[in-house]
Amino acid sequence: MARLYSASRALLRRLSSNRHAFPPARALSSAINGSGYHVGGGPSFMRGTVFWEPNKPLTVEDFHMPRPKSGELLIKTKACGVCHSDLHVMKGELPFSSPCVVGHEITGEIVEHGAHTDSGITKRFPIGTHVVGAFIMPCGNCFFCVKGQEDLCEAFFAYNRAKGTLYDGETRLFLRSNGKPVYMYSMGGLAEYCVVPANALAVLPNTLPYSESAILGCAVFTAYGAMRNAAKLRAGDSVAVIGVGGVGSSCLQIARAFGASEIIAVDVLDEKLQSAKLLGATHTINAMEEDVVDKIKEITQGMGVDVAIEALGKASTFVQCTKSVRDGGKAVIIGLAATNVMGEVDITRLVRRQVKIIGSYGARARQDLPQIVKLAEAGIFNLQNSVSRKCKFEETNKAFEDLNNGKIIGRAVVEIM
């Protein structure tokens, strides 16, 4: 642990300087029976998984090959993570334009530059480059991007999250059968190819595998943003992570890399808590068996933690998070909740004891994603321990069904090509 912490600090110094059962899988499984599309011959079509309406299976459809525009790159998708954010959309808990292609944490290979793309981008990302994509795709030009707050990018929220398009107000996805548009959740990564703004990409070293590295663009990206930018975690801080799924388990590793002293993992599944110990947890709490707040106070000699992370998006865990921090501590909320879910807070304690409640959606692609890749390349963030399942394209619905039913420990990844 001492050697790992020492290596982590050395690298970080260098970085600083530079609710219902999901429908069965039958529709997706029966729809996929071999690709037959290849970039080498300049393909005209590709396959992608389409979300049509809540609580219905994804289906695989043929699309016209998407074409990137200026500042955008066409990626041959190699892998895409299976994330709760997609599941929220698929269950109707997060409103989003439909039909759409979900999937927002990807790795792949650059196969085309958009016309009139700046030479600086083409030199940084030549054809054939391995890349990882961040789910927050900054425009680079809005008020927040100019200030370095790319995680608040106005264009991303106004166009992609509100309308399912890129920043000219248009999608890049059109069905082969009738030419109708299909919207994009981030880049629409559960497809054989996807169009991604260059600002959302980082070079992936050839030494890092495509499949495991897909989680860098969301699970790890979100954890890094919460710890570094929102919590401003310092060496020696104590941390509690409530909910240790894909993002929460990534928070454990980031906390360890940043030198946290006590790292407390909270969940309701013993299997997840056992895995949490491998990822840096010094203490574990089963919330079905113990009072979370009382136990955290006991571990911290009655103080509470310096930083508590809520990674589930539930009203009950929001309360646990805010009550678990010490006076002057930080409660960082990263779990997305269903529409209209509200969290209660003790206002008097918030005021008198200076408790800080901070929302954090992700990190900053241009600043943070290259640093996250370096953490993985150095082995400080262990990708192999984070990815517990690799699925075939035809198993995508089954992966989301298992995610919904709590059967996935860590993160599942769909291997696409």
- Indicate the fold that domain 232-359 takes in CATH: Rossmann fold (3.40.50)
Query: 């990206």: which residue's tokens?
Result: 221
pLDDT at 340: 86
- Taking residues 105-118, what's their average pLDDT? 97
- Taking residues 1-17, what's their average pLDDT? 50
pLDDT at 6: 53
Least confident of 4-8, 72-76, 139-143, 252-256: 4-8
> Comparing C-alpha atoms, which of 138, 140, 104, 125 is closest to residue 216?
104
For residue 210 the two structure tokens come to 């495509």
Residue 14 φ/ψ, nearest 5 degrees = -65, -40
Distance in angstroms (rounded) separating the CA atoms of residues 227 and 255: 7
Find how far residue 123's CA is from the centre of its chain.
27
Mean pLDDT, the chain, integer: 91
Distance in angstroms (rounded) separating the CA atoms of residues 67 and 172: 7
Residue 142, sorted as left (phi over 0), alpha (psi -120 to 50) or beta, turns out to be beta
Q: At CA 217, angle to CA 273 and CA 248, rounded to 5? A: 20
Q: Is 218 exposed, middle or buried (0-12, 13-18, 19+ CB in 10 A)?
A: buried
Judge whether residue 222 has pLDDT over 90: yes
| Contact between 71 and 114 (Cβ < 8 Å) | yes
pLDDT at 311: 97
Using alpha carbons only, how large is the chain's radius of gyration in Å?
21
- pLDDT tens by residue, 35-50: 333 334 468 999 999 9
- Taking residues 403-412, what's their average pLDDT? 92
> Is 232-359 the same fold as 19-218+363-415?
no
- For residue 101, the one-letter residue type is V
pLDDT at 13: 53
H/E element, 164: none
pLDDT at 10: 55
H/E element, 51: none
Judge whether residue 20 has pLDDT over 50: no
pLDDT at 26: 30
- Taking residues 171-189, what's their average pLDDT? 98
Judge whether residue 17 has pLDDT over 50: no
Q: Is 303 exposed, middle or buried (0-12, 13-18, 19+ CB in 10 A)?
A: middle
Residue ranges covered by each domain of the chain? 19-218+363-415, 232-359
pLDDT at 9: 53
Judge whether residue 386 has pLDDT over 60: yes
| Contact between 109 and 131 (Cβ < 8 Å) | yes
Residue 42 φ/ψ, nearest 5 degrees = 65, 65
- Taking residues 356-363, what's their average pLDDT? 98
- pLDDT tens by residue, 255-286: 999 999 999 999 999 999 999 999 999 999 99
> Comparing C-alpha atoms, which of 174, 185, 194 is closest to residue 101?
185
For residue 247 the two structure tokens come to 């993002």
User: Any idea which architecture 19-218+363-415 has in CATH?
Assistant: Alpha-Beta Complex (3.90)
Cα–Cα distances (Å) from 124 to 140, 193, 367, 368, in that order, read 16, 20, 15, 17
Distance in angstroms (rounded) separating the CA atoms of residues 342 and 330: 19
Query: 């030494």: which residue's tokens?
Result: 207
- Taking residues 166-173, what's their average pLDDT? 98
Distance in angstroms (rounded) separating the CA atoms of residues 372 and 250: 11
pLDDT tier at 338, thresholds 50, 70, 90: confident
Residue 391, sorted as left (phi over 0), alpha (psi -120 to 50) or beta, turns out to be beta
